[in-house]
Amino acid sequence: MADWAYTASVAIVFDQEIHVDYRQFYVESGSGWAADPLNESLGGQANGLCGAAVPGQLLFLITGLHTGRTRVTVEVLDAPAPIGDEWEDVVEASFRPVTAKVALVQWAGEASWPLPLAPIDYRVRYSATGMDRARRRDTLLAGEPLLDRYLLQLWPAPLAPDAVIRETSRCAAYWNAHARTLPSPPTPQERAEAKQREQAAREQARQEAARAFEARRWLPDERVRRTNGALELARLDRELVDGITDLDPATQRAVAVWAARRACAAAGLTDLDWVKPVLAALERGESLPFADLGEAFRLLDADPHVRRTTVASYDGRHDHISQQHMAVPALWSAAADDPLGAGLESLFPRWSRSGSTTGASCPRCARRSPSWRNAILAVASVVLSEERRAGTC
């Protein structure tokens, strides 16, 4: 609590000329203005002269004069005082300072004067006279008589909706009508949530930019960068990715089919009645007999003959992933329209998490042993040899 006190007999805490620009001055408490302080401070209010819709931080006060000197008086009272007949326009609002540091502030912070307000709920009455006269003149030059003046009164009172008490000038009528067209400003919770969304969006954009940079560094081929899992596969074994990329489309497709079959075999799915026609369709280059991947998962979950096993994820973050659920998507990857994408995507991440019989249980092992890569490229070599014998290559 500040070390000052006031009584009804000593109510005037500020009384002097100030300079206004753009028809505005303020009472500020705390820091951090809204992005659109004028419209947010007036939003949802009945009055447009004293903007108090953003709780605690700001009173946005409108004048008739655009630029020049005007007189402002501030009174802190124990209770509301009678409204003098000299005041043409009068509005009221509620205000609770968010800090004990409160000030009357000119536009752009050109000058400020401390106000002795406690962090309690106040009723604010803003009274004006001469607004139309000042608005018509627009700019008051040095030495010219004042055209408008303002009285700001505050007294302790519970929070209540703002109100227009008296409206005489066309200027006040314009601003009051304008305020009623504006939406209410966001609540503190909505502001916090919006800030969190902005931070999350920035972080996502940063991560996407980093991934794009990494993709360009590791995978110069645009087709490879568009393939799910290709970047991680390149980090694990760049030679394998380059080897598959250099293959012709028929051989890339053969690698995809082989990888899908190996995934199903490792997961114990090969001989199931609903898996056999899928593998046969892949071998013949035909459309798969299921409408979508969801149908295959439903069959997998409902089949009592499925042997349920788990494996660790390739990155070591998960110890128990369903081997069968990781194998099934490889069937759809192998059937992708792009043979290169089919070849790479069927290998990773699906096949890498479904087990292996090549001596390496996941692609990470390829860093220590070439057996995983060699097993796959051996398939390509066999396909190429068969094509040469058949005269198609």
Q: Residues 299-313: pLDDT tens digits?
A: 899 999 998 998 887
Token reading at 266: 């490792």
Mean pLDDT of the chain: 82
Give the position of tokens 């194998």.
327
* 314: Cβ contacts below 8 Å, ≥ 6 apart: 232, 236, 348, 349, 352, 353, 362, 363, 364
Structure confidence by residue, pLDDT tens digits, 350-366: 445 444 433 333 433 33
Provide the residue type at 152 as one letter: L
Nearest to 22 by CA among 34, 35, 38, 36: 38
The most confident of the ranges 115-124, 192-201, 204-213, 245-254 is: 115-124
Q: What is the DSSP string of 74-124?
A: EEE-SSPPPPPTT-SEEEEEEE--SSS-EEEE-GGGS-EEEE---SS-EEE
Class of domain 12-185 as given by CATH: mainly beta
pLDDT grade, residue 115 (50/70/90)? very high
Q: What is the pLDDT of residue 187?
A: 73
Q: Which residues pair with 58 in a beta bridge?
A: 28
Q: Which residues pair with 103 in a beta bridge?
A: 28, 114
Query: Average of pLDDT values for 192-200?
Result: 84
Query: Average of pLDDT values for 140-159?
Result: 96
Structure confidence by residue, pLDDT tens digits, 259-279: 888 888 988 999 999 999 999
Structure confidence by residue, pLDDT tens digits, 215-262: 666 665 777 777 777 777 777 777 778 788 888 888 888 888 988 888
Query: Average of pLDDT values for 288-317?
Result: 84
Q: What is the pLDDT of residue 84?
A: 95
For residue 56, is pLDDT > 50? yes
pLDDT grade, residue 34 (50/70/90)? low
Q: What is the pLDDT of residue 371?
A: 53
Token reading at 289: 């007999």
Residue 60's SS3 state is strand
Query: Average of pLDDT values for 139-160?
Result: 96
Query: Average of pLDDT values for 315-330?
Result: 81
* 325: Cβ contacts below 8 Å, ≥ 6 apart: 297, 300
The most confident of the ranges 46-50, 266-270, 290-294, 304-308 is: 46-50
| Residue 382 burial (CB count, 10 A) | 13
Query: Average of pLDDT values for 320-327?
Result: 86
Query: Average of pLDDT values for 92-102?
Result: 93
Q: What is the pLDDT of residue 184?
A: 86
Decide which of 36 and 366 is more confident: 36
Domain-by-domain residue ranges, the chain? 12-185, 187-218, 228-390
Q: What is the pLDDT of residue 365?
A: 39
Q: What is the pLDDT of residue 246?
A: 83
pLDDT grade, residue 58 (50/70/90)? confident
Nearest to 290 by CA among 80, 343, 299: 299
Decide which of 163 and 54 is more confident: 163
Q: What is the pLDDT of residue 375?
A: 55
Q: What is the DSSP string of 264-332?
A: HHHTT-TTSTTTHHHHHHHHHTPPPSSS-HHHHHHHHHH-TT----EE--TTSS-S-EEHHHHHHHHHH
The most confident of the ranges 133-142, 280-289, 370-379 is: 133-142
For residue 374, is pLDDT > 70? no
Distance CA 197, CA 265 (A): 45
Structure confidence by residue, pLDDT tens digits, 153-189: 999 999 999 999 999 999 999 999 999 999 988 777 7
Q: What is the pLDDT of residue 176?
A: 97
Q: What is the pLDDT of residue 177?
A: 97
Residue 382's SS3 state is helix
pTM exceeds 0.75: no
Q: Are 377 and 243 in contact (CB under 8 A)?
A: yes
